[in-house]
Chain A
Amino acid sequence: MEQAIEATLGQVFREEAGRVTASLTRRYGNFELAEDCTQEAFVEALRTWPAQGIPSRPGAWLQRVAERRVLDRLRRDQRFAGKVSEMASALPEGGDDRLQLMFACCHPALSREAQVALTLRAVAGLTTAQIASAFLISEATVAQRITRAKRKIVTAGIPFRMPAPADLELRLNEVLAVLYLMFNEGYLASRWEVSSDRLLAEDAAWLAGLVAQMLPSQAEVLGLLALFKLQLARVEGRFTADGQLVLLADQDRSLWDREGIGEATLLLDRAAALGRPGPYQLQAAIASCHALAASWSTTDWQLLVRLYDRLLQLQPSPVVRLNRAVALWHVAGADVALREADALLAELPRYHLLHSTRAELLQDLGRDEEAQAAWAQALALTLNPAERRHLRGRALAS
């Protein structure tokens, strides 16, 4: 029962946090004050809703309680009140407040850590404790980051409005980078069974959906949302019941969420129709190529190599080159792929996936001794328990 209420509260907070914070910021011109009071309203809700039941319009309830707190504080500090009313008159109205809130939280004048923490708290309504557990850092660290970031927004005059059209794309990249980091932090965590990681990935996808809804003609936003949906659609196949990592090649594809994959494909089509390709769309296209293949062996590797080539043009990175090498293996053979992988050793000497890929390729070429050495290297370089178990299994089987 209590758990059900907590889940509902989480849902309500996620839906309402950004809205309440944003509307109070607009009305009273002070982000720090608005955010504090919104959190206080949530604490109040956590205290009273389980006993009294969830109000019929939870958003309006939260808004009312938060606003009352704002007014209390303003009355207590008249000097501050004068300043606030002066600021409030300068704030324009219009558009969805939450998007402006996101642009403020992801302002380049804030550090990436601060952007992430602030977005999770102010826009997605997570508590400090939830953020701390998702990033494996102490609550005190998160609290300090958020406090410092909120102060900076107010003191440095970080605006609460949409960036100028000339800056929109650049600033949007900042928002998308925060969402991408947030998603991967949750999705790639070895503790997927831990609900906070799952929630983090789902929150990132939810926020991306929100941005896509508000900026429907930004192709990269649609691309990022499609990428998230594709990854989430394959979640059920990624771990065995006892928490063992399953590689894409070995996943039971009947566990994948076909509906989610279909939605993502439509999004990707919409993005492509806008004629503005970008790295997120390409990553989503790569993910969709895997998602649509009936099996690992019938995957369209030719297409994948082409997609990786285009991604490399936009985003030259050794990790992307490694992924391309894997696709190339199926198109041009293990020796060609191994040459590509070997060329990355200087750049990625401590990247365990490079060594495990080399091990697979060496094994394919019958060079078993070298393969064993590469497995050992890969194992020595990862701490992630699920990946360690997996690598040990592979090394033994070879």
Chain B
Amino acid sequence: MKYMLMFVGEAEGGEEHMDEVMTDVGAWWEKYSHSGAIVGGERLQPSAHATTVHLGGSAPTIVDGPFAETKESIGGYAIVEVLDLDAALEMAKSWPGSPVVEIRPVWVD
């Protein structure tokens, strides 16, 4: 099964622990890339740099900022290919880079 792991919010500890966190994230990514679980993914710039396009009206409108103003936003994602939800949960439980991980199965036709 293919899932997207969305990494939500920022890791605790602030700036001074950033290096440590990045090292742990690097190790995590390395481990699961090596096992073949991770098939893609990226770290994202903060939502302050987001631009949102609304297509509901007669013409598209372009707005500065994320689509929803929430305290926690998605800081990165990984696309993983694993046996089942338990395997994805196992990965998410050991993720060192953020306080919340949302797991979504990828749409399959």
Contact = CB atoms under 8 A, between A and B. Distances in A.
Interface of A: 90, 107, 109, 155-159, 163-164, 167
Contact of A159 (B3, B86, B103, B105): B86
B85 interface: yes
Contact of B86 (A90, A155, A163): A163
Contacts, number: 25
B84 interface: yes
Contacts of A164: 86, 90
Q: Is the interface of B mostly helix, strand, loop or mixed?
A: mixed
A158 B84 contact: yes
Interface string B87-100: 01110000000000
Nearest to B87: A159
B59 interface: no
21 contacts: A90-B83, A107-B85, A109-B85, A109-B89, A155-B105, A156-B103, A156-B105, A157-B1, A157-B3, A157-B85, A157-B88, A157-B105, A158-B84, A158-B86, A159-B83, A159-B84, A159-B85, A159-B86, A163-B86, A164-B86, A167-B86
A99 to B, nearest CB: 15
Please provide the 6 A-B residue pairs with the shortest distance between their CB atoms, ordered closest to farther.
A159-B84, A157-B1, A157-B84, A157-B85, A158-B85, A159-B86
B85 A156 contact: yes
Interface residues of B, number: 11
Nearest to A163: B86
Nearest to A171: B86
A159 B84 CA distance: 6
Contacts of A90: 83
Nearest to A158: B85
A90 B86 CA distance: 14
Nearest to B109: A79
Contacts of A159: 83-86
Nearest to B2: A157
Contacts of B83: 90, 159
Contacts of B85: 107, 109, 156-159
B87 to A, nearest CB: 8
A125 to B, nearest CB: 26
Contacts of A109: 85, 89
A163 B86 CA distance: 8
